[in-house]
Chains A and B, each alone.
Chain A
Amino acid sequence: MKIFSARTITVLNKGNQISRQSIEKLDLLLLILETIDLNGIQSLFALSNRLNLNNVLPNKVTIWKLRNSNPLRKSYVNNNIKANEFDALIKITVEMSTYLYPYIREILKSKEDFNENSVIWNDFKKRFIELINERFNKDSMRVKKILNQNENDEIIIKSLLTLSLCISNQGYQKLKNLLLNF
């Protein structure tokens, strides 16, 4: 049963170009997954092999290059990421969230029971901030917002929640629609 039927994608796709907000959001989700999985880059590449995405993502460098299409990155390159490359990144994001769901859930739970069990949340947040400092352009206002201790809880929680809601078989389509329509 399909509960929700047609939702039109009205944004982006000008000659197969993806909007910068969509790339920013997707890269942030991948960074969240990398924060959980210490060997994240290797896992992403292994998943791309398992999903037979070798033609789009033949090696780790390609994944890295595509993620550098995120304007918030220090090493930003205006690559004009193609629709099939964007799709491939969404597929590996969904697949990795499915594997990491128990961890994503634990991090969310740790924030809910912060007074009793704050260790998981604090560790996660610390590593996330480290990764942002390492890879993102700290002069950008958006990055400053992500790094701001008072504001970033909301960004992190919503990103974790987004990943946790896209682990079903329809997860790819859900995440794609979400990224292209926000």
Chain B
Amino acid sequence: MQNKLSFHQSSVSLEIIGLPDYSNNENKDQISIISQWKLTMIDKPLIEGKIEHLGPIMNAFYVYSNLLIKNEIPIYESKLIDIKADNLHTHNIVLKSSKPNVRPLILKIGNSLLSDTINCFDQLNESSKVRIKKTGTFNNVPKKVRFGLNNKVHFLNSILPPLIAICSLFLFSSTFIYFYNPIEDKEKNVLINPK
């Protein structure tokens, strides 16, 4: 018997279907092996897929929304999903099926549905009952557009500016370096004292 967990936010609901990992002594109501998921948006076609599709789709929504609110060009393109803004309040989503001869699904959603969807994904991320393994795609997200959760200040960031300053000072001052040349000095002396 499979477990079902639903996450709701206004007009959007996300359903996760799967099994607990009994080899890890997990509870009966836990989901670690996801067999299927369904994303329902009111008045829009149902989006469903397997675990390997869920990660990239969540990823796409997070990256896209981050670009949107950071005043960067809001375009996300991948093998599975493309999202781009038609205007300030309409977002065009193209979901490409991994099966051959299946036409891509095109959805147009507004800001309200976009935020509902991301809040559903947030609920899934924060749920203790569902465990999702990180897929490779998560690591491919460019650092610049990550909606980061850590605020560590890297050691490198604090050491790099003074290091660059010292290097540039050294390079600059090295252009004025004077090497003592005894022959030249002798010639000068001869010119001063012609005797």
Contacts from A to B (Cβ < 8 Å): 1-10, 13, 101-102, 104-106, 108-109, 111-112, 153-154, 157-158, 160-162, 164-165, 167-170, 173-174, 176-178, 180-182
Contact = CB atoms under 8 A, between A and B. Distances in A.
A177 B149 contact: yes
Given A4-B146, A8-B154, A157-B89, A112 B110 contact: yes
B44 to A, nearest CB: 13
B112 A7 contact: no
Tell me what chain A mostly uses at the interface: helix, strand, loop, or mixed.
helix
Top 8 nearest A-B pairs (CB, nearest first) are A7-B148, A168-B122, A112-B110, A164-B115, A108-B111, A4-B146, A109-B112, A6-B150
B151 A178 contact: no
Interface in B50-90: 58-59, 62, 65, 68-71, 88-90
Given A105-B112, A108-B111, A168 B126 contact: yes
B68 A158 contact: yes
B143 A7 contact: yes
Given A2-B149, A109-B110, A169-B122, 6 more contacts: A4-B146, A6-B148, A13-B153, A102-B10, A109-B112, A178-B70
Given A8-B154, A112-B112, A158-B71, A2 B88 contact: no
A112 B90 contact: yes
A161 B68 CA distance: 9
